[in-house]
Structure 1
Amino acid sequence: MLKTLKRALLLPLRLLLALLILFEEWGYQPLARLMARLGRLPVLRQLEHLITRLPPAAALAVLLLPALLLLPVKLLALLLIGSGRFGLGLSLVILAKLAGTAIVARLFQLTRPALLRMAWFARCYASWTIWKSGLLDWLRASEIWRRARLFKRRLRRFMRA
């Protein structure tokens, strides 16, 4: 009975995590492609070339830099929301999230080979990938997912008609 209760309590958390990861991946690929197109510009192409040649520790620092640089922007957004400018604050959070995801997606593509040379990072990345894959497999096999896909197909048919 305790196991059933634990599973029932963890179900909403697991579902929320799976949906957050899915949403993150949904934006990750298109934003990474957009940044790769921007990376064709001469100045950015040179910068990307330098990033791909970084040693592992420097690659990790470069990957973490956007998160640190966006922190003050996110704090400003919270300040705006707290001072009654909800729309402006929310817009700033969304823009920061999109920009941060786009930049980190591209930087990860560029730095992944160097990062994977660090044993601890390679282990964490492998564990994360396995865990994430299992969670997304669970979500895609769930009744909620099947019903959402059915609803999406019906909605598309309705919109075409």
Structure 2
Amino acid sequence: MSDTPPRPPGTGWTARLLRAPGRALALLLALLVAFEEWGWEPLARWLARIGRWPGLRWVERRIRHLPPWGALALFALPSLALLPVKLLALAAMAHGHMLLGLAVVLAAKVVGTAVVARLYMLTQPALLQIAAFAWLHAHWMRAKTRLLALLHATRAWRVARVLRRQAVRRLRRWVRQMRTAR
């Protein structure tokens, strides 16, 4: 007989192994939500400023008045348009140009996210008229709210926010210095 009490069910190595994919998915979702919170909205605001340029106002007005299925087709377009760019970046990587390929993939991701974010803001009323989209949107928003609450409660999030604020301050200071150096 052993003096150690039996372990409760679900605490052995097999239970931990079975929970690993769930944790990986939760981490992936948390990263997606963090990117959306820190990247999506600022990129959409940046593109909205560009959208105020005289020729683009007309385009944005037309996009706002698209029917629901036209809005959905337009919403999918940036992903399709950036696919060849990403494939070219992978080809560059395959030929030994790793930094170039990585830079192109990152630039495509940032530009694609900015375009998708702006298109989403312009087409959201039309998209929400599609029942399946509205259902998915409602579920995503509830899940996102729960994930954000969990994420904001972590020490890693608080540290990342401080580091982000410091980086933004340094970048703004550098931009001011560059402007005054002219």
**Do the two structures share a fold, i.e. TM-score over 0.5?**
yes
Q: Aligned-pair distance for 1:16?
A: 3.5
1:143 deviates by 4.8
Amino acid across the alignment from 1:140: H
The answer to whether 1:111 aligns with 2:119 is no
- Structure-2 residue corresponding to 1:122: 134
CA RMSD of aligned residues (A): 2.4
How far does the alpha carbon of each residue in 1:63-111 deviate from its partner, in whole angstroms, 9 at most, with x for none?
1111100000011111111110001000100110011011111000000
What are the within-5 Å matches in structure 2 for residues 1-161 of structure 1?
Answer: 1-2=9-10, 5=16, 6-7=18-19, 10-145=22-157, 148=159, 152=162
Q: TM-score, normalised by structure 1?
A: 0.85
In structure 2, relative to structure 1, the CA distance for the partners of 1:91 and 1:143 (3 Å cut) is: closer
| Equivalent AA in structure 2 for residue 60 of structure 1 | L
How far the C-alpha of 1:46 sits from its partner, in A, is: 0.1
Q: Unpaired runs of 5+ in structure 1?
A: 157-161
Q: Is the 8 A contact 1:70 1:96 kept in 2?
A: yes
Identity fraction in percent = 50
CA distance in 2, matches of 1:149, 1:68: 32
Report how many aligned residue pairs link the two structures. 154
Paired position in structure 2 for 1:159: none
Q: 1:48 to 1:80 in 2, by over 3 A?
A: same
| Structure number with larger C-alpha Rg | 2
Unpaired segments of 5 or more residues in structure 2? Answer: 1-8, 167-182
Query: CA–CA distance in 2 between the matches of 1:30 and 1:42?
Result: 21
Q: Distance in 2 between matches of 1:149 and 1:85?
A: 31
What is the identity, as a one-letter code, of the residue corresponding to 1:81? M
- Tell me, in whole angstroms, the C-alpha distance in 1 between the residues paired with 2:122 and 2:21: 39
Residue identity opposite 1:112 in structure 2:
Q
Distance apart, 1:9 and its partner CA: 5.5
Q: Which residue identity is paired with 2:136? A: C
Distance 1:48 1:86 in 2: 37
Q: CA deviation at 1:2?
A: 3.0
1:16-73 CA-to-partner distances (Å, cap 9, x unmatched) read 3202320233111111011110111111100000000000000001111111000000
Counterpart CA distance in 1 for 2:100 and 2:157 is 33
* TM-score calculated relative to the size of structure 2: 0.76
Counterparts of 1:125 and 1:142, CA distance in 2: 26
1:136 is displaced (CA, Å) by 1.8
